[in-house]
Amino acid sequence: MNGSGKLNIVVGLSILASFMLYGFILIYLRDFAPGKEEWVANSLIGDHFEAKLAHVHGNLFAVLNIMIGYLLLKLPVGRVSAKWISWTGLLGLAMPVGILSELVLGLPPYLVLAGGISMVISVAWLAVGIARANLTSVQ
């Protein structure tokens, strides 16, 4: 067992809490804000859709980091692989941050693509690492 994974859990829980709070902003905009009818009417297009997309992916990728971190702490994945799996999982968080940066700052979707690709690599690498691991000694 190695130390890789703890940072994924800590960052994952922090990001999860942040995007949960962001969800309350979306609830406010949908249910309580002045002009809420317009917000709801446009919720499946443009900025409103992007706002919801960031919320969903922020929470999903946070939970994935918690899972990645826990599995890295508990399963005998090789040290070098564990380090790369951990970091690519953390870099995956660039996807929801990238969606928000598109929405708020008008930036191009490079962070979205980089984060999405990074998360796919992390999860796939973790699958391979677990498949290759000797799990007979795991308690």
- pLDDT of 53: 93
Residue 2 has pLDDT above 60, yes or no: no
pTM for this model (two decimals): 0.91
Structural element, H or E, at residue 114? helix 110-132
Q: Is 1 a domain residue? A: no
CA angle 11, 13, 18 (to 5 degrees): 95
Q: Is 130 a domain residue? A: yes
- pLDDT of 1: 43
Q: How far apart are CA 116 and CA 136, in angstroms?
A: 33
CATH number at residue 56: 1.20.120
How many independent structural domains does the chain possess? 1
What pLDDT, in 10s, does the model give residues 6-38? Answer: 999 999 999 999 999 999 999 999 999 998 898
Q: How many Cα neighbours within 13 Å face the side chain of 88?
A: 18
Written as six digits, the tokens of 68 are 């990645």
What pLDDT, in 10s, does the model give residues 49-98? Answer: 999 999 999 999 999 999 999 999 999 999 999 999 999 999 999 999 99
Amino acid occupying residue 38: E
